[in-house]
Structure 1
Amino acid sequence: MKKNNFLLTGMVIVLSIALAACGKANTPASNDASSSSTTAGSSASSDMTSGSGNTASGDDIVAGSGTMTSRDDVDSGVDSTVTLMGTFKGQNEMKAAGTAVIENGQLKLSGFSISEGPDLHVYLSKGDDPANGTEIDKIDLKSAEQTFDVSKEDLSKYDTVLIYCQKAHVVFGKAALESPVSGSNDMAGAAASKLKGSFKGQNEMKAAGTAVIENGQLKLTGFSVSEGPDLHVYLSKGDDAANGTEIGKIDLKSAEQTFDVSKEDLSKYDTVLIYCQKAHVIFGKASLEL
């Protein structure tokens, strides 16, 4: 019995010594970890307080710097920066002139004129049928410069601007839309160039006024010319109509006339001629300069 008590006492002493040794061995590690954790936390706290390093400040988040897309841009799904351009031509024996440009969510009509009608509206359409398009607004017959909001329209659906009389169900004018950037080089060149010249009479004929080429259009302003049986306007290299291109027929009664030259390579020409095809005589010319 005494022997067993002695052994039990010895085992308790050994176990106590072992536990004490184990606790001593583990204590520095615990303290080191605690110290390391405290130091790291202090460092992180310091960084957060000073806002140093790569930590984003509140101002950066509010400002939304960078190329973040706004919610409105995402929701609308419309690229309002698209640029499209076309020149009006009369339809169904009506007259139409001027330029249609779509850019930054706006449809702009410039140098615009059209035959009178009781109820004319502007449409964006796919082709020549307004039934395939969308009415934008009513036309002001007295205004050469008009602007309409098309920022909510999906421009990929349309390729034409129509001037449509709702009462008579007749298209008065149309402008086929193209992109000056991605379209033909000829159109891009025409859109970018501005040429100007003053008319002078030729071959004992009288001519006056100004010729301006801009945005794919040849505009005659303050124009007058001696009467002839078959007068046409030409773009030419020099004074010979044979070296040029016929653009359209002249209206002897109109001082303001506009012709489409958006498909022409303007680098080939330096002169506007008024030429009588029947008599083979030049009535007037305007030398073009930038």
Structure 2
Amino acid sequence: MEYRGIHQTALTPADAAEFARMLHDAPGPHLGRAPVPVLVHEPDTTPAGRRRALQEVYDAIVARIGEPTLYGGSAEGPSVRWRDGRRIVLLAGDRQQVGLSVHDTLTLEGEERRAFEWGGAWSGGEPYDPAFLPYVWLLDRSGPGERPTSRQGGRPAADLAQFQYGLQLLLAAWVEQLPVQVGTDWASFCLTSAVDRGRQLLVSYSLEDGLQASIDDRDGENNDDRARTMLARGWQSRDRGWWQTDFPDPGPENAADLAALVVTELCARGTRAPEELRARDVSCKDRGELWLPGLGVRH
């Protein structure tokens, strides 16, 4: 979806909140129109800077029209929805601009369904690309409005390189988007592999703890050779049989590092294809239902 409308001057937070109320309560004249900017970022704005700027606008909108029906985001920016059976008020954007718009529910979700079916690509023969999906994560906490009767499922990753790319995009999105929408709540999942049954590889993010990964290695030897092997893969420390890596104040490069570590570890233990993987215990502080259509594996 194109997030940049014809207006290039962003509304103030107070005006954005009032405009959101108008879209929410009287959507008719505005249905399907180009988004109206509520933020315009400078080209050199950092992810942390974008997060701080969006927080002020987001808080003002929520104070006016209430918590969203669905929290979420794409690889490029937020994708937050106040939804019922008639209309969706959408707060969405990318690294340049965030806008407010309102859409007919069936029309928007039909367009998004086609995007998920194609996997973000131009055709079925093109590679799966989660960077172009409408959202890579979505959180339903039974908020105001009406939840969808079904959820979108992204195309599976074609290989582990694509899975790593999708994981990197998801983690980078969480770092920038989750604190704005859910504060200090953590999000996490557990990866398991059909070729290494019973082993858990945990991945998580929270504002307080940063990005983290840990692998159950209690059946591995606790000696110097094993430590050198695990450290060479990118793990940082061992605690009671679990190897861990933490990035307390993560940036986009750390999302890439953690995704690479996860895939390196999976490959070292015999995983060869995404269809062997499953994401289990997908959760955001055990509140609501968290969907990860950009991950490219079953969950």
Could you tell me the TM-score, scaled by structure 1's length? 0.24
RCO greater where, 1 or 2, for CA within 8 Å and sep 6 or more? 2
Larger radius of gyration: 1
Comparing both structures, which one devotes a greater share of its residues to helix? Answer: 2
Comparing both structures, which one devotes a greater share of its residues to strand? Answer: 1
Could you tell me the TM-score, scaled by structure 2's length? 0.24
